[in-house]
C-alpha cells in the first residue's frame, strides 16, 4: 500500500476546514514557524562547516552564556515572523523583554513565545537539540501590546510545539486536537505527517532526571527516585531504566514516542528559584503536548497549565510524562506537605 503523503500545509488546511478548528491567520503563523525551524535545521546540520558552533561573547537575561546558535536561531525566528501580519509581538529566552512587531508591518492578533535553541550544551557535541514554541492570542480591548498581555496561563495556548534537530528533523505540534508529528523531507523541503494521535502510555519503566543533583533534591523527589532505583525487590516491584539527554526537547520527544517521566524539580542549589526550566516557553508548550497525548504535567503540586505566570522569564519545577507516574510524584509532594 502506498500511503498518500500529507504535508504540514495540508494538515493545517484540513484543521482549518474541520469545525474551523484553527483560523487562517494561525495556520499561516504555524507555517512561518515551521519554515524558520527548517532554516535553523539547515544551520544546525552545517555545524563546523557553517561556523555556527561555539559560544558568542554575550549572556542572556538569565545570565547564561549564549551560544552562537542560540543567537542565530533567535534571529531566524524573529526575521521570519515579524512581517507576516499574524503577530503582535514575540517573547524569547534570548531576549530580555518582548519584541513588538514594528509598525511598518501589519499587526496580527497572536503572540509567539519561543526557546529558539533548547539544549544548548549539546550543540557542540552533536547531540539532539530543538526549538520550542507557544502561541497565545493577544488579549482584546486595548491598543498596542505589553508584557502583561503574555502573562496567560498555559491552558490559554492556541498552538504549541517543538522542532527537534536530531538524526531526523521532526516538528511536533498541537492545536488542541491531539499531537501530530511531521518529519522534514530534505529532498522535497517540506514537513510530512509521519504520526497522528500520539499517545503516551500511562505506565512506564523509564525516568529522566539529572541524578547529579540528588543531594539537593526535596524529600518527595528523593523518595520517588529511590523507589525506582530499588527495582524489582523494592516497593515498585519492577526495574527502571534511566535516560538524561539534557535537551528537554529530546527527553520529551522520547516520552511522546515510548513513554517515561521527566523531572526538573526545584532543588536546594538555588532555593529562591522555583526550578531551572522556564514556564512560558519551555514548560507550558511541553505540558500541553504531553496532556494532549494523554500524559500529565505538574510542578509537583499543581497542573502546570493552570499556573498564572507573573513574569515572562519565570521559572518552574517540572514533572511530566506518563500519567500514573506523574500522579505518583505529585501525590508524594502533597503527602509531604
Q: Find the shortest distance in angstroms from Cβ 171 to ligand AHG.
A: 17
Distance CA 286, CA 167 (A): 21
Q: Find the shortest distance in angstroms from Cβ 121 to ligand AHG.
A: 6
Residues in the chain: 337
Choosing from 91, 119, 154, 321, the residue that interacts with ligand AHG (CB under 6 A) is 119
**Contact partner, 121, from Mn ion, ligand AHG, none, Cβ < 5-8 Å per class:** ligand AHG
285 contacts 156 by C-beta, under 8 angstroms:
no
Choosing from 33, 40, 52, 118, the residue that interacts with ligand AHG (CB under 6 A) is 118
**120 carries a ligand binding annotation:** yes
Q: Is residue 115 at the binding interface for ligand AHG, with CB under 6 A as the rule?
A: yes
Q: What is the β-pairing status of strands 261-264 and 206-208?
A: parallel
Which conformational region is residue 141 in: left (phi greater than 0), alpha (psi within -120 to 50 degrees), or beta?
left
Distance CA 155, CA 304 (A): 9
Interaction site with Mn ion (CB under 5 A): 93, 115, 117-118
**Contact partner, 127, from Mn ion, ligand AHG, none, Cβ < 5-8 Å per class:** none
Q: Is residue 120 at the binding interface for ligand AHG, with CB under 6 A as the rule?
A: yes
Q: Is residue 152 at the binding interface for ligand AHG, with CB under 6 A as the rule?
A: no
- For residue 332, the tally of other CB atoms under 10 A from its CB is 18
Q: Find the shortest distance in angstroms from Cβ 138 to Mn ion.
A: 24
Q: Find the shortest distance in angstroms from Cβ 215 to Mn ion.
A: 24
Which cell goes with 74?
A: 533567535
250 contacts 164 by C-beta, under 8 angstroms:
yes
Distance CA 120, CA 54 (A): 10
**118 carries a ligand binding annotation:** yes
Nearer to ligand AHG, 192 or 246 (CB): 246
Nearer to Mn ion, 193 or 256 (CB): 256
Nearer to ligand AHG, 92 or 322 (CB): 92
Distance CA 37, CA 182 (A): 12
Which cell goes with 129?
A: 537539540
Residues 194-213 touching ligand AHG, rule: CB under 6 A, are 210
Residues 17-76 touching ligand AHG, rule: CB under 6 A, are 64
Residues 232-251 touching ligand AHG, rule: CB under 6 A, are 246-248
Identify the burial level of 49 via C-beta atoms within 10 angstroms of its C-beta, where 0-12 means exposed, 13-18 middle and 19 or more buried. exposed
- Where do we find the cell 507550558? 284
Beta bridge partners of 318: 264
Tell me the per-residue interface mask from 248 to 277 with ligand AHG, x by CB under 6 A, - otherwise.
x---------------x-----------x-
Nearer to Mn ion, 62 or 308 (CB): 62
Interface size with ligand AHG, residues (CB under 6 A): 13
Distance CA 275, CA 266 (A): 4
Report the interface residues with ligand AHG, using CB under 6 A: 64, 93, 115, 118-121, 210, 246-248, 264, 276
Amino acid at each position: 500500500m502506498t500511503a498518500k503523503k500529507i504535508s504540514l500545509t495540508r494538515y493545517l488546511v484540513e484543521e482549518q476546514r474541520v469545525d474551523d478548528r484553527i483560523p487562517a491567520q494561525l495556520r499561516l503563523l504555524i507555517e512561518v514557524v515551521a519554515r524558520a525551524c527548517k532554516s535553523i535545521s539547515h544551520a544546525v546540520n552545517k555545524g563546523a562547516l557553517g561556523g555556527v558552533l561555539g559560544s558568542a561573547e554575550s549572556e542572556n537575561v538569565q545570565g547564561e552564556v549564549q551560544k552562537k546558535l542560540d543567537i542565530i536561531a533567535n534571529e531566524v525566528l524573529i526575521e521570519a515572523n515579524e512581517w507576516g501580519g499574524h503577530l503582535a509581538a514575540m517573547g524569547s529566552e534570548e531576549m530580555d523583554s518582548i519584541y513588538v512587531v514594528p509598525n511598518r508591518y501589519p499587526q496580527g492578533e497572536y503572540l509567539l513565545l519561543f526557546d529558539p535553541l533548547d539544549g544548548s550544551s549539546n550543540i557542540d557535541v552533536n547531540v539532539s537539540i530543538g526549538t520550542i514554541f507557544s502561541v497565545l492570542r493577544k488579549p482584546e480591548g486595548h491598543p498596542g501590546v505589553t508584557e502583561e498581555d503574555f502573562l496567560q496561563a498555559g491552558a490559554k495556548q492556541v498552538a504549541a510545539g517543538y522542532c527537534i534537530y536530531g538524526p531526523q528533523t521532526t516538528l511536533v505540534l498541537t492545536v488542541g486536537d491531539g499531537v501530530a508529528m511531521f518529519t522534514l523531507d530534505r529532498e522535497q523541503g517540506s514537513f510530512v505527517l509521519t504520526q497522528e494521535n500520539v499517545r503516551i502510555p500511562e505506565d512506564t519503566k523509564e525516568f529522566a532526571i539529572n541524578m547529579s543533583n540528588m543531594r539537593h533534591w526535596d524529600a518527595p523527589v528523593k523518595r520517588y527516585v529511590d523507589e525506582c532505583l530499588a527495582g524489582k525487590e523494592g516497593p515498585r516491584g519492577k526495574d527502571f531504566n534511566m535516560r538524561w539527554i539534557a535537551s528537554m526537547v529530546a527527553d520529551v520527544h522520547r516520552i511522546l514516542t515510548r513513554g517515561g517521566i521527566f523531572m526538573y524539580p526545584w532543588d536546594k542549589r538555588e532555593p529562591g528559584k522555583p526550578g531551572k526550566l522556564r514556564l512560558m516557553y519551555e514548560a507550558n508548550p511541553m505540558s500541553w503536548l504531553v496532556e494532549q497525548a494523554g500524559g500529565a504535567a505538574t510542578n509537583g503540586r499543581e497542573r502546570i497549565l493552570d499556573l498564572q505566570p507573573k513574569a515572562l522569564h519565570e521559572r518552574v519545577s517540572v514533572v511530566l510524562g506518563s500519567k500514573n507516574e506523574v500522579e505518583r510524584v505529585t501525590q508524594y509532594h502533597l503527602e509531604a506537605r
